[in-house]
Homo-oligomer: A and B are copies of this chain.
């Protein structure tokens, strides 16, 4: 039985880890920590856990975490990795960080996040945890930079194209839409129900910190520099991301050939489902599950390809992929504890 610790108990990704790990046959949560909630019963913070979890939230103490757990999930907002990741590694515990601190080199991090980066030696140890693409590295990693929600949906949609060289690299536009839980559980005017409900908006236009994360991984697989236009939008719903990705296909790529490409690339990948022709994924069709559903449409009028991908931002876009990485890191089947039917409706 793998023992896990969750650092950051009161946020949405922390609570989602508790939901997912409860049904995991080979992993258990032995420790839950949180700064603002330390000393409380977890059920005081989250009554929905009554009679399921009995833990008391503890203060963050790296040494104690390393004693109680084999792997720690860092489920805190970006900006906290420096405080805690080095100490965890020193104490010999493997770490999966769900925040953004380990995903970018120092200069890009500073530019896009406006914060101080983690020490270079820590960042260099981090393996980017996009499970379907970097499984080999994840297997041996001590430190995982779990991908962001938008990058997960976007990269799973676009990587087959850039890998195959099927698309003009300077033609990529990602128009992405997310439910509000992506903003976390912090109180903020822009997350109030009355501001979000019956409303739709773009935000951080051309300035979202997930842009360089997407570009970096595309470039890595493409073997060349790629710059994308990325526009995030806020949808009046709690969970779900739909990424609508556009690009010019190169000569010779028919809809049929593109469909074959996707089915080949994701053959044997249990969590990526390619939709048949003319069928496009809806976010509700993956809610609560670790699936990423992908649909394709090549427009002959314009020569432009539209790739749509849908995930649950809290599962495949955060905690579910983190558990998937846990499975890979510990030699378990990738799907262990994670296969479930999406909750529809």
One complex includes copies of this chain to the number of 4
| Most B C-beta atoms less than 10 A away, residue of A198, A339, A342 | A198
Cβ–Cβ contact B304 & A200, under 8 A: no
Asked whether any CB of chain B lies closer than 8 Å to the CB of A91, the reply is no
- CB-CB < 8 A to A19: which residues of B? 340-344
Asked whether any CB of chain B lies closer than 8 Å to the CB of A121, the reply is no
Interface flags for A229-245 (1: CB within 8 Å of B; 0: not) read 10101011111101010
Binding-face segment, A61-69, A102-110, A180-188: A180-188
> Within the complex, which residue of B280, B295, B343 is in contact with A343, where a contact is CB–CB below 8 Å?
B343
Asked whether any CB of chain B lies closer than 8 Å to the CB of A202, the reply is yes
Cβ–Cβ contact A306 & B229, under 8 A: yes
Asked whether any CB of chain B lies closer than 8 Å to the CB of A336, the reply is no
> Within the complex, which residue of B23, B199, B297, B344 is in contact with A284, where a contact is CB–CB below 8 Å?
B199
Cβ–Cβ contact A193 & B200, under 8 A: no
Complex Cα gap A132–B231 (Å): 28
Given that A173-B304, A227-B301 are known contacts, is A199 also in contact with B282, CB under 8 Å in the complex? yes
CB-based nearest B residue for A174: B175
Cβ–Cβ contact A185 & B177, under 8 A: no
| Most B C-beta atoms less than 10 A away, residue of A238, A240, A286, A288 | A238
Interface flags for A135-170 (1: CB within 8 Å of B; 0: not) read 000000000000000000000000000000000001
Q: Which of A44-75 contact B (CB under 8 A)?
A: 46-52
- CB-CB < 8 A to A297: which residues of B? 205-206
Asked whether any CB of chain B lies closer than 8 Å to the CB of A228, the reply is yes
Interface flags for A263-292 (1: CB within 8 Å of B; 0: not) read 000000010010100011111111110000
The 6 closest A-B CB pairs, nearest first, are A48-B285, A199-B284, A201-B282, A175-B175, A19-B341, A206-B299
Query: A193-B197, A197-B197, A203-B280 given. 13 additional CB < 8 A pairs?
Result: A23-B341, A46-B344, A173-B304, A175-B231, A177-B177, A187-B189, A195-B345, A197-B345, A205-B297, A206-B301, A227-B301, A229-B302, A235-B236
A-B contact pairs, 25 of them (CB 8 A): A12-B194, A18-B341, A19-B340, A19-B342, A22-B341, A46-B344, A48-B286, A50-B275, A51-B270, A179-B200, A181-B194, A181-B345, A187-B187, A191-B192, A192-B192, A197-B237, A197-B238, A198-B240, A198-B283, A198-B345, A201-B242, A201-B284, A205-B306, A227-B301, A246-B246
